[in-house]
Amino acid sequence: MSRKRTRSLRCPICRKIVLRGEAEFPFCSQRCRLLDLGKWASGGYVVSTPVSNPDALGVAEASPHADIPAGKDSTHHGRSRN
């Protein structure tokens, strides 16, 4: 008796086993599908690309505000600091 092998994966959200033929594949449910979409929409997941041009690293260093942490710049929207 030969057994037919069914491909399966784990749901990326709750880790439940999901068969390839299921409607929500690769998720186990619509809920997990929407949770995953929400993570993408909120910036919870990020797709990064490696820097292939070493000169591109120098661009950030040449920025006039490179040494000032975010939110700490000296610009006060036209108001003077007295």
Mean pLDDT of 1-24: 85
Domain borders along the chain are 7-45
Residue 10, beta-bridge partner list: 17
Looking up tokens 């939110």, which residue turns up?
Answer: 71
| φ and ψ at residue 54, rounded to 5 degrees | -60, -25
Residues 27-69: pLDDT tens digits? 999 999 999 999 999 999 888 877 677 676 665 554 455 555 5
25 Rama class: left (phi>0) / alpha (psi -120 to 50) / beta: beta
Q: What is the CATH number of domain 7-45?
A: 3.30.50.10
Specify the pLDDT at position 82: 46
